[in-house]
Chain A
């Protein structure tokens, strides 16, 4: 193989750790960058949760962290909106898109399909560094003179387009748009690479229907990204033009601060369409990789095949297709034609069907298993739990009629945090605990710290987001700096405190994870080569990272990856004494291939 010959040239520190073209190193870079961004995003949420619980109270934390934005230690209303905006942007794009998909697509696609590396190592490196630059610009925007972007993570114009409308729509907003444009370029390079790699570089015998569901999820996620991210790019560019060059794509008939602006003929509703054409598929770009990880982790730890493998693939494809035609459910009360609302209600509730199939299949995978309750497994079970709780309220929000009164209230905030925020984070954690040995030279994370991390997080996340539904159903709008202007919300003050306290506890639990993560990188105990007794190919590679992944020939694949606890008719395991059959083991005589 021509590819293999390249792997012996000398490496310097820079080519090995900084401008690495090795997919495993790039995965680590994505993970660590994503985790740092995650820490910043979560810290921001704590700040505004404190403001919501104790509105207008002076705090030394605010003075210390917000400086001029917290005169006398009281959080300013503009910076509240900026924190909400940047929290959303960071968590959705930088943590749950790049951090999750970037890490595990990079790590697992070559390892699980049996490839030496990504199709293009250079594009892969470029993808990471563009991501890094966009992170730097986004964080740099926090220091803009008039403050960072503050129009909500959806940055709807005209609020985001007019510097007169709020201070955050000045330089901060320009930087936000530039950062997102670069982010999208990074995401597209990554996605194209994933698609090409999965299609072309599978090892001998690795047919599409023998691929682990992780790969199916990453593959389809990349396709959704390629289809929808360019539309956000165009929206961002058009918005930049409206802001900087006086075009009128999204603006018309505006009178602000005593003067009529020249804009004529544009429509903010057009921006909403463009934004949500990405924005909704984005939910699945975040969620599908987490579900893919769950499929793999759950099956391995249940010592059972994933139930309904082909139905799982079908539901991934169904979700992917439907996800591109449901965006209008974010716009039922935007002023668009109500007939469109009917269509989007229909498609939106349809997407509940493949989602329900997935949930039922996970539950059945647990049935009569021999569940190894490792931290990764607990996070996977936790994911299914929050996916169900959060997903069910989607039935209400996706129904145009019911959306009228809960649209943009805390009911929505509770819904999407559970179904995509917490669920995807659980997927990320499950992946980190499970593949930590693959990322860091065979070292394992401490399981007891993992248990503490999971249980505190699980209780605290429900503690934050379950009561939040009630706040929404009491009519409290989201993105309110404080709720004290409405006596009808007075009695909800206690709920706000409760949610904030749970949020602080949840954040404290993440410190356990951070400690465990850093400590285990250096001092974690080394496990066996295949610690979870898994069937997939990545565990056949040596624990020390080498270029090209396998020292010799790439192994050939003879079966799907879910032959756990498979027996002959007489009840004896296929391989005597072990309850798993790695993909590299040829079919035995009298054995039937069962990749259903």
Chain B
């Protein structure tokens, strides 16, 4: 409904701009000197002022965006390394904003201050080794410290090992849904290959029924994680590239057909605790106001929302890429164990081959 209206307005705006352009040009017809399309003092003056105004605009849109959208960003991290991640992120942002503010000021202020005037003399200033040394060495130092901090975190995050008794989980991707597999009682995943997939016997992940480790594996469509215990993820895809993106945990890894990729993190905040976070309470409130408005318009996708962690697909994978998701529930170790016990094992669900 709004689309045609907005489009109509925009078409009119375009026509208006076109017409204005023509009028502008007609108004110029009188002056027919050879160089009248070259900036004169008055052009320099107005565009100089506009450059300064543009500086104000850049600062303005920065402040506006932070004020209006700042609260919509991801909430506090829900994983152990996420705290480190966010710290590095905000340090980088602080540096970026400082540099952005200063350099944009200099650029546009110089554009305004040194706007041309007839007869003014520019300064012949071709180089200065000292200055150039300064602004080479400062980025070197700043970037070197960022690199060191970044690499330190990276090595820690990507060091996937068996220390501290991690829970082993397989994330299995296919167009357009996710499946999770737990190692079961032995916490060991059974061997699997897409070549063993047998839809008729409900072996949808291609588990090797000859591998004893696989019989107690639990295959589910909802990812449950115990709080405070390290989780080692092993990712597989059966068809195209997918990416397991868990933004609340600052975690992401691609799922690649033909290989097993890995990621690891320790969830630190249960779903229940996260729902009580003031920022989440506010976000849910704001969202549900919007959804209530949609409900009033008869939109079916407007049930009230309750916060949940979510796993998204973040690598283009086809038509329903935009809706390839799985709910993640972080709960206490007891609740998790209880839940896991209630699930059927692979051995129980797979139907015997004829």
Within 8 A of A (CB), among B95-127: 95-96, 99-100, 103-104, 106-108, 110-111, 114-117, 120-127
User: With the chains together, A501 CA to B14 CA distance in Å?
Assistant: 12
Interchain CB contact under 8 A, B135 and A357: yes
B176 CB, min distance to chain A CBs, angstroms: 11
Which residues of chain A come closer than 8 Å to B352, judged between CB atoms? none
Indicate whether A565 sits within 8 Å of B124 (C-beta atoms), given known contacts A77-B319, A81-B316, A474-B72.
yes
Question: Which residue of the partner chain B has the closest CB to A452?
Answer: B21
Which residues of chain B come closer than 8 Å to A341, judged between CB atoms? 154, 158
B195 interface neighbour in A59, A253, A470, A490, Cβ under 8 Å: A253
Interchain CB contact under 8 A, B135 and A356: yes
Which residues of chain A come closer than 8 Å to B212, judged between CB atoms? none
Interface size on B, residues (CB 8 A): 134
Indicate whether A364 sits within 8 Å of B131 (C-beta atoms), given known contacts A346-B151, A381-B111, A525-B32.
yes
B277 CB, min distance to chain A CBs, angstroms: 13
- Please tell me if B296 contacts chain A, counting CB pairs below 8 Å: no
Indicate whether A470 sits within 8 Å of B241 (C-beta atoms), given known contacts A59-B3, A447-B37.
no
Interchain CB contact under 8 A, B131 and A399: no
Which residues of chain A come closer than 8 Å to B18, judged between CB atoms? 511-512, 515
Interchain CB contact under 8 A, A158 and B257: yes
Interchain CB contact under 8 A, A254 and B117: no
Indicate whether A373 sits within 8 Å of B47 (C-beta atoms), given known contacts A159-B318, A341-B154.
yes
Which residues of chain B come closer than 8 Å to A265, judged between CB atoms? 258
Within 8 A of B (CB), among A412-452: 444-449, 451-452
Question: Interface extent on A, as a size class?
Answer: 35 or more
Interchain CB contact under 8 A, A565 and B121: yes
Indicate whether A388 sits within 8 Å of B104 (C-beta atoms), given known contacts A267-B259, A363-B110.
yes
- Please tell me if A2 contacts chain B, counting CB pairs below 8 Å: no
A510 CB, min distance to chain B CBs, angstroms: 10
- Please tell me if A196 contacts chain B, counting CB pairs below 8 Å: no
User: With the chains together, A533 CA to B34 CA distance in Å?
Assistant: 14
For the complex of A and B, 8 pairs with smallest distance between CB atoms: A252-B258, A338-B158, A475-B247, A335-B261, A487-B305, A470-B69, A480-B322, A373-B47
A–B Cβ pairs within 8 angstroms, 28 of them: A159-B241, A162-B239, A256-B240, A260-B197, A268-B258, A308-B127, A345-B147, A346-B147, A349-B146, A353-B140, A369-B110, A370-B120, A372-B38, A372-B39, A381-B51, A399-B150, A401-B150, A402-B150, A404-B251, A452-B17, A463-B61, A466-B65, A471-B69, A485-B322, A486-B325, A527-B34, A528-B34, A565-B121
* Known A267-B256, A353-B140, A363-B107; further 5 A-B contacts with Cβ < 8 A: A371-B114, A378-B51, A393-B96, A405-B247, A459-B54
Residues of B at the A interface (CB closer than 8 Å) are 1-4, 6-7, 10, 13-14, 17-18, 20-22, 24-25, 28, 32, 34-39, 43-44, 47-48, 50-51, 54, 57-58, 61-62, 65, 69-70, 72-74, 85, 88-89, 92-93, 95-96, 99-100, 103-104, 106-108, 110-111, 114-117, 120-128, 131-132, 135-136, 139-140, 143, 146-147, 150-151, 153-155, 157-158, 174-175, 193-195, 197, 199, 206, 235, 238-241, 243, 245, 247, 250-254, 256-259, 261, 283, 286-287, 290-291, 301, 305, 307, 310, 312-323, 325
